[in-house]
Every structure is written in structure tokens, then in C-alpha cells.
Amino acid sequence: MKRISTIFFILLFTGIVACIASVITTKYIYHQPAALFGYRIVKILTDSMSPDIPENSYILVKNIQGADVKEGDVVVHIPAYGDYAGLPMTHKCIRGPELETEGVAAGQTCILTQGTKAGAPVDPPVPIANVQSVYIKSIAKAGGFFDFLTSIWGIVVLIAVPSLIVIVMQVIRMVRAVFAKPDEEAVKAEAERIERERQGEALAEMMRESGEGATAAKGTSNVGELGDVMAFIAREKAKSASSDNPSTPAAPTDEMSSVMAFIAREKAKLNKDD
């Protein structure tokens, strides 16, 4: 669960930062609205499209190739000629793509655009390469929200809030890790494993030193099994020492059977080596 939470916050934070970087780059460097999956939001800064699209309203547009523009489309384009050359403009297409034969755009395929405000002049020809997007719908109700998102405070909030959430989650995790109690069962099991290995190594050393079981010790690679035998012997000694009648034989157990089986295997290895 912790891993899933971490991955979620990392993806969320990365996505938000990427979106903010896209907004900043297109808005303040390229002076164009940001696009997401081909769609973007455009603010109409003048009344040249009124009453169809009021001044300071927002519209949703989709990227389009200039050659696909049809008469009647409202398009976002960058004028190549005239007083507004180089600045984004949203006007209505009044003539589809055609090859210009005269004027400043002679030899280029262009469209003609015009604002819908009464008395608006026809714009200079717009090369189809300068067409960016086509109008989809108005989103006037979301205007205030988008104004906030594209403001400095909006960008600060979008960065600060996810960052703060991630930092708080990491601090909480670190505090829990510092003050968390160790798993007693896991610690006990690990200690027992280490003790079995130590006893197994001690038994193997004893067998090598005695000379009687050198071959068996050499051929035995399961140190854990040796440790189990050693631990069993130690327990049996402890039982005998604490019993009121040490001479009374203990009843056979599965553990005793395992020990006997181990000894039988070792003897078989010795006989085979001989």
C-alpha cells in the first residue's frame, strides 16, 4: 500500500509539473495558449468577434491543419501581414484555402478571415501554415477559473500544494520508520536462524577436530541441518539437567527421528567414502 501511495504521488506531482511547464512555456515564451491532447483554451481579448464570442471570454479549440479549414470555421491563426502580424488572432474564415495570384501573398495558399463585429474589415490573406486551431465551443462559465490558473498565484498554488503533500507524506513515513517498534517475531526468528548456523558450524568443527567424522563433515554442506542437530542436543541436555529423574528415557519424538535420520545419512556417506 505504501509503495502504491508513493508511486501515485510521484506520478501526480510529475504530471502537474509537466502541465505547468507546458503552460509557462507556451504562454510566456511562445505567446500561445497551451494544448493538451490537441485541445487548448483561448481567451478572446477583443470585441472583434462580438456578439458571437464576447470580449474576455474563453473558447475551446482544437489543433487543425490549415488545408482542412472550411468556410465558416472560426480559426486561431497568426497573421503574416498587416498591423497584427505575428500575434495570435481568432477570426471567422470567409474563404477556404486558395492559391493567391496577386498581392503580398502571391504564390501562397491562403485563407481569408474576418471578425464578426459589424463593420469589421477583411483581414490580409493568411497562409495555411499559419493556421493553428479551429473553434469548438465557448466555455464562458470557466473564465474566472482559467484566469486564476494562468496567473502567478495560480501557478504558485499548483506547484506548492502537491509539493507540500509529497513532503508531508515523506516526513510522516520517516517519523514512523524512526519510532516504529521492531517486529519481535521476525527478530526472534532471525536470532534462532543465526544460532542454528553457529551451532552447525561448531558441530562441523568438532567433527573435523575429532577426525572420526572428517569425511562426513567435509561432505556435509547443509550447515542449517547441523545447527538443528546441535540445538536438539542442547535442548535434550537442558531437559535432563532440569528433570527430577534424569535417567528416565524420553519418549521418541519427530525431532529425535530427524536427528537419527541425519546421523544415518552421515554414516552412509562415511561408508560410501570408505
Mean pLDDT of 18-31: 65
User: What per-residue confidence (pLDDT) applies to 116?
Assistant: 94
Pair (124, 189) in one structural domain: no
The domain of 64 spans: 48-138
Q: Which are the contacts of 229, defined by CB distance < 8 A and separation ≥ 6?
A: 200, 203, 259, 262, 263
Pairing of strands 35-36, 39-43: antiparallel
Contacts of the segment 98-107: beta carbons below 8 A, 24+ positions apart: 100/125, 105/80, 105/81
250 falls within a domain: yes
More confident residue, 137 or 267: 137
Is 3 within the bounds of a domain?
A: no
Count of domains forming the chain = 2
CA distance 126 to 67: 12
Each residue's pLDDT tens digit, 216-228: 444 444 555 656 6
Written as one string, the DSSP assignment of 46-104 is SSTTTTTS-TT-EEEEEE--GGG--TT-EEEE--SSSTTTTS-EEEEEEEEEEE--SST
Structural domain includes residue 11: no
Kindly report the length of the chain. 274
Instruction: Give the predicted TM-score (pTM) of the model.
Output: 0.49
Nearest to 78 by CA among 89, 91, 92: 89
Looking at the domain assignment, is residue 15 inside a domain?
Answer: no
pLDDT of residue 221: 47
Please report the DSSP string for 211-264 in residue order.
STTHHHHHH---HHHHHHHHHHHHHHHHHHHH-S-TTSPPPP-HHHHHHHHHHH
If DSSP codes are grouped into helix, strand and coil, which group holds residue 39?
strand
Higher pLDDT, 170 or 123: 123
Q: What is the pLDDT of residue 218?
A: 47
Quote the pLDDT of residue 28: 66
So what's the pLDDT on residue 214? Answer: 44
Which pairing describes strands 126-127 and 74-77: parallel, antiparallel, or unpaired?
Answer: unpaired
pLDDT value, residue 233: 64
pLDDT at 127: 95
- Mean pLDDT score across all residues of the chain: 76
pLDDT confidence of 215, banded at 50, 70, 90? very low
Q: Are 196 and 227 in contact (CB under 8 A)?
A: yes
Mark whether 131 and 203 lie in a shared domain. no
239-245 average pLDDT score? 57
Q: Are residues 200 and 125 in the same domain?
A: no
Do residue 131 and residue 196 come from a single domain?
no
Looking at the fold, whether 62 and 134 belong to one and the same domain comes out as yes
Residue 193 vs residue 133, higher pLDDT: 133
Q: Copy the grid coordinates of residue 49.
A: 468577434
For 28-60, write each residue's pLDDT tens digit: 665 555 566 678 888 888 999 999 998 888 899
The residue-averaged pLDDT of 128-137 equals: 93
In a domain, 30, yes or no: no
Which CATH number does the domain housing residue 74 bear?
2.30.30
Question: Looking at per-residue confidence, does 237 or 183 come out higher?
Answer: 183
Rounded to an integer, the average pLDDT of 101-113 is 93
558441530: which residue's cell? 203
pLDDT for 49: 94
